[in-house]
Structure 1
């Protein structure tokens, strides 16, 4: 029996284990936290990501290694790759860990994106703000996610405040300034590439964020067929250049018919959670299929699907479970402000039926503000599933 090792024991690892277990695969999860939630469903080895003795033991227990978040040290992934196959590759992980490397890659591949610049001093920051115009966003090049490590500049007076907030990171994680995009909507491509080069993508997903954290996702997104094709072509370019193996997400801004790249995530992604209950094959099972060299599953959507993120604490599951195609996912985490603790998936055959289900759930849970933009998008007209 094959054993897959997962670096990182959060909810993404947990869902990989649960959805790939029917394939007859065993898992070992490696995480610094003794209460990592994936440890509730698979053997958990506790250790620091840079503890070579612990990693040596981990490698001895598994046949292939993957990871569930992008801040695993690339050096540790490279060290493991000398002992066991690691997918996605440490090289792909290293590119996605650095916003400057990532955006440089997009530029080289001819994928449109907002202006960006490496920032090493307060003087460089001021010069690039003048060049890009306001507003713009200063970010750490590394270790930022869910809106962390960012400062939005709205006026010249914010230059000093931004440098005071993040300038100390210039020599540690590096800094990047990005021009602001007045976008119409945010979308993502969740795609998978196998060890043999086979490439598949799920329908484009529409996303809504609150305070930098994903609040809801809708698939298929309300975009044109041309945008679907363009977005998937961008994802294919990235996957082929990096010789990528596994699932990844490419986040994009829509501005009219134009698509601009924001960032990529080298792993299964929050905006792909709907695939567990709304697609022929979920992102989690397809990721495991890819890293093991198994045939990839069909990525077609089954009707229309929406994912609602639960942040901080879990609400009452009853209103979701009362829906004919309502699905509940509790990550087994302790409640904490700002923490992703679970999600719900709703799926229906028509946009009207899904809008009705969302309105009922939103009203019952007091989440009307969370579901309102999704309902509006559905009523504006969605994309018919292929």
Structure 2
């Protein structure tokens, strides 16, 4: 039975980054009050919420204070400690819940859970030492991605082995040096080593599910990464209908297995043989679905509000194809590192383009400062427009 949390209530958010900011903006448009918890006193959400608690992800007292003033709490980042989740959940509903987050925030636990539940994933090994890493690489074919078990995103906490054509594996010294580099990228701690796959493209599927069990599954997004950071994404993904249906089926089954309350992004690899493999899970709004704000009847941020408040979910039909391109800190920097002003006026001359900035005060390389979005008649045209605007910056 539905027990909706209606407008006028207060929603708490663990995290005040750009995802929390955009969730707060959607919630405010629907008449909710918003409180966030974030360790950064100048987090992007601070400027659009009713109150902001400055505290770390492991501060159980402040997590309880956040929950005490809210009718429901959700999250925009995975790094919340289990103790903080439990402290909040003792006082108000936390959606998604701590049990699901504990699995997803640890890559070893996440891979093991997916494997145990029969979802398609690539071959992998959990490693806890340099010796285990040294044994895992040849067992997985020599060309591998290495990822830290916890934390790390946008290429942080990750390393690669076997991709450098300038390293000769006939040289034990070269091979050992690359292994040590990968181990250092992991933070010299537990991690996952993944066998490289023959990749045709990367896609993602976003699923929303309410506590009452209503489910909505978005069309797949096609994602393009550069230097392990999402460069651009487009909805709908131009993929065959049977592949789309299978991707949505997998994502829905994962959400149901978790008894999801909220939204879940499922990142998938499409191999050159047409196989789908789950890459990673994100129990929050996702960079690849920023385009849903313009492509779909209901954007992901409004959908998160609906889901955690146990309201009827919004339609996810595509109104028009839309693409986004991330604006990283480099856009504000000259090649020598000195500051520059992007030519936003030139970019906005592209038909169908919009600018989205996150009010982050200090640009730096690799930091997501905002994004551009563009609509068009086809996915390819939407991508072309947003890339044209990027060139004009």
TM-score (norm 2): 0.87
Q: Does 1:270 align with 2:287?
A: yes
Candidates 15, 25, 28, aligned match of 1:21: 28
For residue 4 of structure 1, what is the aligned residue in structure 2?
A: 11
For residue 103 of structure 1, what is the aligned residue in structure 2?
A: 111
Aligned to 1:226, the other structure's residue is in SS state helix
Q: 1:104 to 1:165 in 2, by over 3 A?
A: closer
Q: 1:22 to 1:223 in 2, by over 3 A?
A: same
Report the CA distance between 1:360 and its aligned residue: 4.0
Aligned partners of 2:327 and 2:370 also within 8 Å: yes
Aligned partners of 1:140 and 1:166 also within 8 Å: no
For residue 37 of structure 2, what is the aligned residue in structure 1?
A: 30
Report the CA distance between 1:219 and its aligned residue: 1.1
Across the aligned residues of Structure 1 and Structure 2, the Cα RMSD in angstroms comes to 2.0
* Separation (CA, whole Å) in 2 of partners of 1:133 and 1:356: 37
Report the CA distance between 1:229 and its aligned residue: 0.8
For residue 102 of structure 2, what is the aligned residue in structure 1?
A: 94
Report the CA distance between 1:159 and its aligned residue: 4.4
* Separation (CA, whole Å) in 1 of partners of 2:370 and 2:278: 27
Q: 1:145 to 1:352 in 2, by over 3 A?
A: closer
Consecutive unaligned residues in structure 2, runs of 5 or more: 1-7, 163-168, 333-341
* Separation (CA, whole Å) in 1 of partners of 2:381 and 2:186: 48
Candidates 276, 299, 318, aligned match of 2:345: 318
For residue 329 of structure 1, what is the aligned residue in structure 2?
A: 356
For residue 177 of structure 1, what is the aligned residue in structure 2?
A: 193
Q: 1:270 to 1:57 in 2, by over 3 A?
A: same
For residue 211 of structure 2, what is the aligned residue in structure 1?
A: 195
For residue 383 of structure 1, what is the aligned residue in structure 2?
A: none
Consecutive unaligned residues in structure 1, runs of 5 or more: 366-386
Aligned to 1:284, the other structure's residue is in SS state helix
Aligned partners of 1:302 and 1:349 also within 8 Å: no
Report the CA distance between 1:25 and its aligned residue: 0.6
* Separation (CA, whole Å) in 1 of partners of 2:242 and 2:389: 33
TM-score (norm 1): 0.89
Q: 1:356 to 1:309 in 2, by over 3 A?
A: closer
Aligned partners of 1:121 and 1:167 also within 8 Å: no
Q: Does 1:55 align with 2:71?
A: no
CA displacement 1:72-105 (0-9 Å, x = unmatched): 1122112211111000011111111011111122
Report the CA distance between 1:323 and its aligned residue: 3.7
Q: 1:343 to 1:355 in 2, by over 3 A?
A: closer
Aligned partners of 2:372 and 2:386 also within 8 Å: no
* Separation (CA, whole Å) in 2 of partners of 1:190 and 1:321: 29
CA displacement 1:330-368 (0-9 Å, x = unmatched): 000021221100001101233565366346424423xxx
For residue 243 of structure 2, what is the aligned residue in structure 1?
A: 227
Within 5 Å, give how 1:36-47 maps onto structure 2. 36-42=43-49, 43-47=51-55
Greater Cα shift, 267-276 or 313-322: 313-322
Report the CA distance between 1:126 and its aligned residue: 2.3
Aligned residues: 364
Aligned to 1:184, the other structure's residue is in SS state strand
